[in-house]
Amino acid sequence: MKYIGLVAVFAATCVAQYGQSLDDLPKIVDNSTSSLPGVEKYVLPPLPYPYNALEPHISEQIMKLHHSAHHQAYVDNLNNALSELRGLEEQGMIEKEKKEGLEETVKFNRGGHINHSLFWKGLVPTGTPDSSLQGDLDKAIKAKWGSEKKFSEAFTKTILQKVKGSGWGWVVCNVGTRDLSFETTRDQDPISLPQLVIFGIDMWEHAYYLQYYNNKKSYLKAIWNVINWKEANERYSACLKHVDT
C-alpha cells in the first residue's frame, strides 16, 4: 500500500537511533475514529513523573500545558496529516502542491513529537539520584570541559547565541568519533545520525515564558537542576556502543 510506503519513508529518514525515531514511540490501533479501521496512530506518551514534580524549577502550569496541549497537538497534527495523505494517495488524486504541504506538516509535527518525547525523559525531579552527573558521561564531560559548571556555562552560551527564535539546544554524541558537542536546531528539526541526543532543552517560549518571561538565562539555569543524568548517561553509553548496521 502506498500509505505503508509513506510511513516507511518517514521512519527511514529518522533511522534507528536511541529514542530518536518515530519507531521508538508508542502507537495504538484506533478503530473508533480512523476512516480506515486498523490504521495505527501515534499517541502522547505519559510523563514519567507528575506535572508538579519539577517544581520549583519548572512550574506545574508549564508542564501541564506543555505536555497535554502542545505535545498533544504535535501528535494530533501528525496523525491527521498522515491520515489525509493516506486517503488522498489511495484515491490516486493527490496534487503535487497538496502533497508537499502535507509532507511539510508531517515533517514539522514528527519532529515535535520526537523532540518532546526525548525532552520529557531527559528531565527528572531534583534531589533524586538520577539528577546527578554520573558514569562515563561524567568522566567524558570533565575530560573535555573541566567541570560540570564549565560545561553548563558553555552550553548555555551556545544556546543563547545560536537559538534566535523557536528551537532547541542539544548535547549530542557523534557515533563515529564518540565525541560530545553542542548543537542547536530551528523549529522542530530533530537531531539525526551520526549524532545521538544525550539531552535537549526546549527553547520555544511555551517551555518557559509563563514562569521566566523573557529571561532565557534564568530558565536555562533552573532547568539544569532537573536534568536526568541517569538517562543522559545511558544515551551516552548507547553512543559508545553504537555499531553501524
Question: What cell was used for 203?
Answer: 527553547
| Interface positions, 96-135, toward Fe ion (CB under 5 A) | none
Q: How far apart are CA 105 and CA 13, in angstroms?
A: 15
Degrees to nearest 5, angle at CA 102 with 27 and 116: 45
Identity of the residue, 168 or 236, whose beta carbon is nearer to Fe ion in the bound complex = 168
For residues 147 to 186, the per-residue mask of contacts with Fe ion, x marking binding by CB under 5 A and - elsewhere, is ----------------------------------------
For residues 205 to 234, the per-residue mask of contacts with Fe ion, x marking binding by CB under 5 A and - elsewhere, is --x---------------------------
Helix (H) or strand (E) holding 167: strand 167-174
Q: By CB under 5 A, name the one of 18, 170, 199, 204 that touches Fe ion.
A: 204
Identity of the residue, 130 or 202, whose beta carbon is nearer to Fe ion in the bound complex = 202
| Interface positions, 16-45, toward Fe ion (CB under 5 A) | none
Report the first-to-last Cα separation within the chain, whole angstroms: 26
Identity of the residue, 182 or 209, whose beta carbon is nearer to Fe ion in the bound complex = 209
Q: Give the distance, in angstroms, between the CA of residue 74 and the centroid of all CA atoms in the same chain.
A: 11
**66 annotated ligand binder:** yes
Degrees to nearest 5, angle at CA 36 with 34 and 38: 80
How many chain residues bind Fe ion (CB under 5 A)? 3
For residue 56, give the amino acid letter.
P
Binding residues for Fe ion (CB under 5 A): 202, 204, 207
